[in-house]
Amino acid sequence: MTSLFSEISPEPAADVPVRRITVTVNGQRRSADVEPRLLLAHLLRQAFRLTGTHTGCDTTNCGACTVLYDGQPVKSCTMLAVQADGHEVTTVEGLAGASELHPVQEGFRDEHGLQCGFCTPGMMLAAKALLDRNPDPTEDEVRWALSGNLCRCTGYQNIVKSVLWAADKMRGPDTGGGGDRHDEEQP
């Protein structure tokens, strides 16, 4: 077996048992043999090749590695891969449907919510978690929910607009939403 720590050690230590874990990632059951010290972010990136999950600060600050763990946003650089055994993980690769983007992704496109794009996956997953819980957030609530995600381009204004756009779209035209609510609110 190749070690997932191949950069620093070609083989896992013989006295540290490797565990077989099974994780439902983006709806698909996937298994891997992991050392206990492997982080969830590295399982996703290196074992499953889902490199949309970015590792930025690596110290639980920036939120670029945010994924959904049983529907809740977590910083995947601050969880062990073994902790995901038997759980569901959604990464940015799991946001879009077969043929269409998730409304949050559409919002980021239409409202220019991304600049360099590094923080974008984490931002979008934190936004999805917010909208799943609160379909009609205020701007303050959006800013609050995204406050654990840092954008090094400091492009927050359009990120917030993107999430509000997605909220409108997800509520649909029947609920008074439909994309133009924020224009109407202008004095």
3-state secondary structure of 152: coil
The count of residues interacting with another protein (CB under 8 A) is: 35
Position among 26, 46, 53, 66 found at the interface with another protein (CB under 8 A): 66
Distances (CA, A) of 157 to 144, 151, 164: 13, 11, 11
Q: Which residue, 166, 163, 162, is CA-closest to 177?
A: 166
153 counts as binding another protein under rule CB under 8 A: no
83 counts as binding another protein under rule CB under 8 A: yes
88 counts as binding another protein under rule CB under 8 A: no
Count CB-CB contacts under 10 A for residue 36: 12
Q: Which residue, 90, 74, 73, 182, is CA-closest to 136?
A: 182
157 counts as binding another protein under rule CB under 8 A: no
List the Cα angle 11/13/17 in 5-degree steps: 115
168 counts as binding another protein under rule CB under 8 A: no
The answer to whether residues 20 and 43 touch, using CB atoms and an 8 Å cutoff, is no
Which range, of 90-98, 103-111, 142-150, 169-177, touches another protein by CB under 8 A?
142-150
19 counts as binding another protein under rule CB under 8 A: yes
Count CB-CB contacts under 10 A for residue 52: 17
80 counts as binding another protein under rule CB under 8 A: yes
Q: Which amino acid is at 176?
A: G
Least distance in Å: CB of 137 to another protein? 12
17 counts as binding another protein under rule CB under 8 A: yes
74 counts as binding another protein under rule CB under 8 A: yes
**Contact footprint for another protein (CB under 8 A):** 5, 8, 13, 16-17, 19, 35-39, 42, 58-61, 63, 66, 69, 72-75, 77-80, 82-83, 126, 144-145, 147-149
